[in-house]
Structure 1
């Protein structure tokens, strides 16, 4: 691209200087030749006037420039004074008819002016000058013009290289960025070039890279989140099936519970898929339905471990958040209390100054001091794993916060529907 820009700009400069310079050169050459003839005619006229009143005696010719010679001829064409051919040449012969005559020889200019007195020819003044002066002036001017043209083309070439670099560099950066994107690195970004059109393309490419990267990150997170979030529904289903095997009698109650567990499992999968797609809408979540889901999902697993679940609602407003995200956050918090805590698990929803606060706690010792429970870890056997890190990211995605207050208490803060209506995002 750079070579094409430079070549086109240079060719345009050459064509422009040629179209302008050739006619100008022709005009300059003609101007110098005409100027030489005019000057020579002036010299001849001045000499004719100087001797017009002294033709009867011995006329004295005036002093002329060194590159010019003058000669006075009789009406019969004989050289009377000055320099020139002894016998009249063509210019002198034609001037005897009473007309000023100009002729060009091989290397000279000749001007012959008749000297008249009341219509009677008294003589002819002949002036001659070499072409050398006009040729030198013309050549010097043409060389100057040629040098200026070469300089103009050279400057055009330099400016074209600079402009080509300015235009090509951001395009090359875009190409390199696109290549890196094609290789799978979606963190690369293009810088600004100062060219609006190219910057627009770069912004679009950056946005595309960001969206693709976020999509891939969500897809990667889906596999990690799914293993964590599906563990509890699968464990519940396993308990139902094992209980059905160990209990004699009618298996239909166990099958019904198993179907309910499968329904919860399907809902969890759908929630994860919804969160993975990262839908932009943030509808008002049904807080009552969410808490009912928590109770339905966790009451029996906790009861099988000799523990209980308490759910309390104290004038809590409806949250403006993705219902799938809030459901998964609550499942993570209750699962954390179920796995790492002890005693009764309490879920309390309350109004927190116009926002919704949901506290999840148990009667266990809680988190050890100095442990960052929101750091994602691969080894989940003795820690909180990816669950709390996932829950915090889901809360922040809906404009909320997930905090570890003290001991075993975690608080989820979400914007209320009324607050969001008063302050639209």
Structure 2
């Protein structure tokens, strides 16, 4: 690309310079010849003025005034005879033409320029002054002018070459950076960013590439996070399914049909969980209709109440009246609440309470238990065993933020986590509400 830009710029400059320089060079040559002819005419006119009185009074002795350096003068009578000066013995064509029509004539003979000026007597030319000079001086001036023009043209082409190289680098470098960034993006490094170049068209491509890198990076990070955390979300329904089936096998008097029906229901919920995780990983959870929070909370009650009851604990769900509608997806809210309730089941004590309330620009859902989180306890949203909460809470926060929501630890005693999801037509600001 760089060579192509330089080549095109040089061709354009050469063509433009030639179209301007060639006519100018021809005009300069014509101008110098015309100037030299006019100078010869002036010399001949001056000589005619000096000798006119002597000619017409019969006192002319054949002497002519000395012309400028390199110029020779001669005078001819009406019959074409040389009366004085330096010239052919008889009139040449240019002198003959001047005597015939009483006007100035010019000619070029070999390496000389000629001019013939009439000395009139009435309406007719009685005499003619012939002036000649070598055209070497004219050609020297023409050649010097042409040399200067060639040098100036070469300078213009040199400057054009330098500017073309600079412009080629300016255009090619950001494109090369874009190519490198695209290659890095293709190698799965989504942190790459193309820098602005100051060229609007290239910067538009850079901006699009950067946005694409951000979108792909977010999508890959979400998929990796959710894929790595899928086992955590699947473990609870699988554990409930296994416990139900084991209890049916261990109790001869149990209702096997009821156990099978519960197992099928658990399997269906497990299937929904898998669908939710796949949708969250692919970023396809954006809802087209407002969230049906009441139905979702009823589903959470049906899922978690039996598991908590087996451990002698209770699940209580409360909702305020006239809650604002939310555009958050059911899959994201379902999986976030599942992580929070599971966390309360595993690490908390006493009753687990889920409370949905109006928080102005958002719907707030508090999930609390009767346990306490020590003040010196590690941030529960830190990934790893040090937090004591595994990978569920970091996953829940990522899911909430992917839907434009927020997840916070509201209280340590009793342990309360609050999920904020945006209300329809509202933007959820950063920070606790």
TM-score, normalising length from structure 2? 0.89
Contact 2:74 2:83 in 1 (8 A): yes
CA distance in 2, matches of 1:73, 1:40: 17
Moved more, 124-133 or 408-417: 408-417
Q: In the superposition, relative to structure 1, how do residues 369 and 38 fare at CA in structure 2: closer, same or farther (>3 Å)?
A: same
Aligned residues: 421
- Point out the more displaced range, 235-244 or 405-414: 405-414
* Mean CA deviation greater in 269-278 or 168-177: 269-278
Could you tell me whether the CA contact under 8 Å between 1:222 and 1:276 is conserved in 2? yes
Q: CA deviation at 1:287?
A: 2.6
Provide closer, same or farther for how the CA distance between residues 423 and 362 of structure 1 changes in structure 2, counting only shifts above 3 A.
Answer: closer
Which segment is superposed worse, 107-116 or 156-165? 107-116
Number of the residue aligned with 2:249: 245
> Cα–Cα, structure 1 residues 20 and 328, in superposed 2: closer, same or farther, change >3 Å?
same
What is the CA distance between 1:221 and its match in structure 2?
1.9
Q: What residue is the counterpart of 2:48 in the other structure?
A: 48
Q: Which position in structure 1 is the counterpart of 2:314?
A: 308
Offset from partner CA, 1:99-128 (integer Å, 9 cap, x none):
544331221112233434235654332211
Query: Given the alignment of the two structures, is residue 21 of structure 1 paired with residue 21 of structure 2, yes or no?
Result: yes
RMSD of Structure 2 on Structure 1 (CA): 2.6
Find the aligned partners of 1:330 and 1:38 in 2 and give their Cα distance.
105
Alignment-derived partner of residue 417 in structure 2: 411
- Residue 236 of structure 1 corresponds to 240
For residues 46-97 of structure 1, give each alpha carbon's deviation from its aligned partner in whole angstroms, at most 9, with x where no partner exists: 2123212202113542342112111223445444332234554454455444
Comparing 390-399 with 256-265, which one deviates more in the overlay?
Answer: 390-399
Structure 1 unmatched ranges of 5 or more: none
Q: Residue 391 of structure 2 aligns with which residue? A: 386
1:268 aligns with 2:270: no
> Where in structure 2 are there 5+ consecutive unaligned residues?
none
Please say if residues 47 and 61 of structure 1, whose CA atoms lie closer than 8 Å, have aligned partners that are also in contact: yes
What is the CA deviation profile of residues 366-387 of structure 1, one whole-angstrom value per residue up to 9, with x for unaligned ones? 356241101122x48x821111
> Distance between the aligned counterparts of 1:400 and 1:92, measured in 2?
107
Cα gap change, 1:264 to 1:78, in 2 (>3 Å) = same
2:59 aligned with 1:57: yes
Whether the 8 Å CA contact 2:405–2:422 is kept in 1: the answer is no
CA distance in 2, matches of 1:270, 1:5: 54
Distance 1:90 1:402, change over 3 A: closer
CA distance in structure 2 between the aligned counterparts of 1:208 and 1:286, rounded to whole angstroms: 33
Q: CA deviation at 1:336?
A: 0.8
Alignment-derived partner of residue 139 in structure 1: 143
Aligned to 1:171: 175
1:333: which partner in 2?
Answer: 340
Say which of 111, 117, 123 aligns to 2:115.
Answer: 111
Displacement, 1:301? 1.8
* 8 Å contact from structure 2 (residues 369, 416) kept in 1: no
Deviates more, 1:392-401 or 1:262-271: 392-401
SS of residue matched to 1:230: helix
Contact 1:359–1:409 (CA under 8 A) maintained in structure 2? no
User: What SS is found at the alignment partner of 2:132?
Assistant: strand
CA contact (8 A) 2:324 2:358 kept: no
Kept after mapping to 2: 8 A contact 1:341/1:408: no
CA distance change for structure 1 residues 205 and 324 in 2, over 3 Å: closer, same or farther?
same
